[in-house]
Amino acid sequence: MGKTKILIVDDHRVVIEGIKSALSVYPDLEIVGEALNGHQAIKKVKSLSPDIVIMDISMPDLNGIDATLQIKKMEPNIKIIIFTMYSNREYIIDLYKAGISSYILKKEPMSELVNAIKAVESGGTFFSGVASEVLFNYVKELDEAKEPKLTDEFETLSLREREVFQGLAEGKSVKEIAEILGISRKTVETHKYNIMEKLHAQNVTDLTKLAIRKGIIQI
């Protein structure tokens, strides 16, 4: 078991230096290279074959997300640890899907990064704190999505959309609905369009059929 080879990727020299000094106390970790953006990272991965890549998200030229996708395609066995300021759900989920092994926030203690490296070098993953919360909720949502929908599309209509829906189903014209609700015709047209999109309706007859089914209007 040789040393674990690590490539550090961050567009800030100071951060790279900081990581290096923090990891310097661990003799079995070897920093084999540094890169300042996604393109350099890919080149260094090819030339240095590291075991682990510690990478930031926002970098010029090629950002961390796109770089992750490309590196994973090239070398599926490389472990990628994201080290970033951002705790946004969108980033965490997208990167998780791209195949990262860990997501560490820069504001966390360095010991977290070290724990991540330890967990990851033997093939595991390491998600803690915010990242684990986000992923936990995400998996829960995926599960719920697989179940048959308890709410139908009609529930996605806003209050005003429901009012317009009723008017249309009752056979009122856009002009009449606008007058009754006290809004402009253009607004009613927009609502009508959105309603048809949400309910997958081709025409007003479809709306009327749905309204009858839901008991909103009587024949």
Partner 1 sequence: MDYKNKTKAELISVIKRLEKQLTLLKKDNSLQEKKDSLIENGTKFYTLVESANDAIFLLKGEIFIDCNTKTVEIFGLKSKKDIVGKAPYYFSPERQPDGRLSRDKALEFIFAARKGIPQFFEWQHCKQDRTPFDTEVSLNRLPPPHEDVIIAIVRDITERKRAEENLRSLNTRLMEEHRQRKLLSKRLIQLLESHNRKISMDLHDHIGQTLVTLKIDLDLIADRVKSPDTSLKLVIEKAKAKTIQAIEDIEKISHGLRPSMLDTLGLLPSLRDLFEEVKKQTNIEIHFFTRDIPKRFDPEKELTIFRVVQEGLTNVIKHSRAKNCFVNLIKKDNSIVLSVEDDGVGFKANGKLGASKGKIPLGLIFMKERVIQLNGEFSIESRVGGGVHLFAEIPI
Q: Is 132 in the site for partner 1 (CB under 8 A)?
A: no
Stretch that binds partner 1, among 88-96, 124-132, 141-149, 206-214 (CB under 8 A): 88-96
Q: Is 37 helix (H, G, I), strand (E, B) or coil?
A: coil
Looking at the Cβ atoms of 63 and 128, the one nearer to partner 1 is 63
Q: Is 199 helix (H, G, I), strand (E, B) or coil?
A: helix
Are residues 144 and 123 in contact, defined by beta-carbon separation less than 8 angstroms?
no
Q: Is 160 in the site for partner 1 (CB under 8 A)?
A: yes
Q: Tokens 């007003």 correspond to what residue? A: 204
Closest contact distance (angstroms) between CB of 89 and partner 1 is 5
Q: Is 115 in the site for partner 1 (CB under 8 A)?
A: no
Tokens of 51: 């075991």
Q: Is 22 in the site for partner 1 (CB under 8 A)?
A: yes
Q: Is 38 helix (H, G, I), strand (E, B) or coil?
A: helix
Tokens of 119: 């967990």
Gyration radius from the chain CA atoms: 27
Applying CB under 8 A, the site for partner 1 has a residue count of: 43
Are residues 102 and 75 in contact, defined by beta-carbon separation less than 8 angstroms?
no
Q: Is 161 in the site for partner 1 (CB under 8 A)?
A: yes
Are residues 4 and 117 in contact, defined by beta-carbon separation less than 8 angstroms?
yes
Q: Is 205 in the site for partner 1 (CB under 8 A)?
A: no
> Which 139-158 residues touch partner 1, going by CB under 8 A?
156, 158
Q: Of 32, 48, 110, 199, which lies in the binding site for partner 1, with binding defined by CB under 8 A?
A: 110
Virtual torsion, Cα 60, 81, 77, 125, nearest 10 deg: -150
Site residues for partner 1 per CB under 8 A: 11-12, 14-15, 17-19, 21-22, 25, 57-58, 63, 65, 85-86, 88-91, 94, 106-107, 109-111, 156, 158-161, 181-184, 186-187, 190-191, 193-194, 197-198
